[in-house]
Each structure stands twice: as C-alpha cells, then as structure tokens.
Homo-oligomer: A and B are copies of this chain.
Amino acid sequence: MENSARSQRTRAAAIQAALTIITRDGPGRLTIDAIARECGSSKGGILHHFRTKDAVLKALLEHQIEQGESLFDGYLAQSLPGRHEPALEAEIESLRTAAAHPKSTTFAIASALADNPELIAAVREREAKHVEAMKKEAADPSVAMVRWSAARGLALSSILGLCPLSEQERMSLFDLLRDDALWDSAQSCIRRRKEAAPQKEKQLL
C-alpha cells in the first residue's frame, strides 16, 4: 500500500479506537496502550503519529469539531429559503442532535480536556463565529441569544448527564425554541415593553 494512504488509515483507526475506548470504558481508561490494543497497532506506532498524548486529545477534539460543523452545515443547507434566522435554527437543531446522544463522546472528550484550557479556547473561538452570524441575521439579537442559550443549556445538561427533564420535554422545548413565528410575535411584545421601560440590555446586544 502507498505510504501516505497507510499512514492516513492507521491514524484514522487510532482516532476511532480512542473514541471507542472513551465511550465504552470512560475517559480515565484512555491510554496510548489501550488505543494501540484497540486498533491492532502498537504503542510505538501510535506515538509515531501523535508525539504526545495531548496530541491525541487535540486530534480527537478536531475530529469532534469537524463532526459538529458538518452537522450544522447539513441543517443549514436543509433550511427553507423563507426562514428569518436560518443559522439560529440550524444551531438549535445541531444542539438537539448533540443532546440526543446520551453516551456522548463530547462529555468524555471534555473531561479528558479538562487540563488543557488552550484547547477549549479553540472551541470557544469557533463558537464566537456562530454567535456573530446569529446576531447578524436576528431582528432582535438578545432574543436570539436567549433562544441559543436555552438550546445550549438543554444540550449541555443532557451531555453532562445533568438534565432532569424527560426526553419528550426536551424535544418539545427544542420545538418551541425553534418556532420562529412564535418568537417573532413574542419579540414584538418584548420590544414594546422595552421601549416603554428601557433596560440595560438594550444597547448592549
């Protein structure tokens, strides 16, 4: 086999093995030895691709980010032309999907990443771009941020195993958050009220 192809294949296999381990055995069991065993490779082979264990984690995170991004892109592409806030809706749907995965790798990866704040920062910066897009398209950015935050809260709670709501409740809340027309009408009420009694948040968002 061609060298580069071989290399790429084992690298992908290593990442897949890491994901398997992290979900099956928990993040505490993710060792280089375990990865090597899982993908039928050797420790040396793994360490040839990733010079340190942190490099493995970084690759894992990048893989996860790519997944999330393509999920988002898919939902964005699906959105009908008439929608007011396609990015927000795609984001909400992405979060709904993420929340649905109870044995989430995301949690495991997050916990494996706990000691690497710089990697987390990368995620946050990517998130900032999405937020920008959502604010830009929104009639009222602060309402968009509320909807986004709520979806995020549901997703993060579920991923961390902290969500006390049933799946049905979660689902219908996601439905509600997504319902553009509903928020449009609520928005006008809020706006009217804000103008009547101006609040701090008005000029900030």
Contacts of A114 in B (CB 8 A): 26-28, 107-108, 111-112
Contacts of A100 in B (CB 8 A): none
Contacts of A149 in B (CB 8 A): 149-151, 153-154, 157, 173
B199, A115: Cβ atoms under 8 Å?
no
- Cα distance A132–B115 when bound, in Å? 35
A190, B185: Cβ atoms under 8 Å?
yes
- Cα distance A69–B197 when bound, in Å? 33
Contacts of A121 in B (CB 8 A): 161
A204, B125: Cβ atoms under 8 Å?
no
Q: A28-B114, A153-B151 are in contact. Are A120 and B190 (CB under 8 A)?
A: no
Shortest Cβ distance from residue A121 to the other chain B in the assembled complex, whole angstroms:
7
B146, A173: Cβ atoms under 8 Å?
yes
Q: Which residues of A contact B (CB under 8 A)?
A: 26-29, 107-108, 110-112, 114-115, 117, 120-121, 123-125, 127-128, 131, 142, 145-157, 160-165, 168-169, 172-173, 175-177, 179, 181-182, 185-190, 192-194, 199-201, 204-205
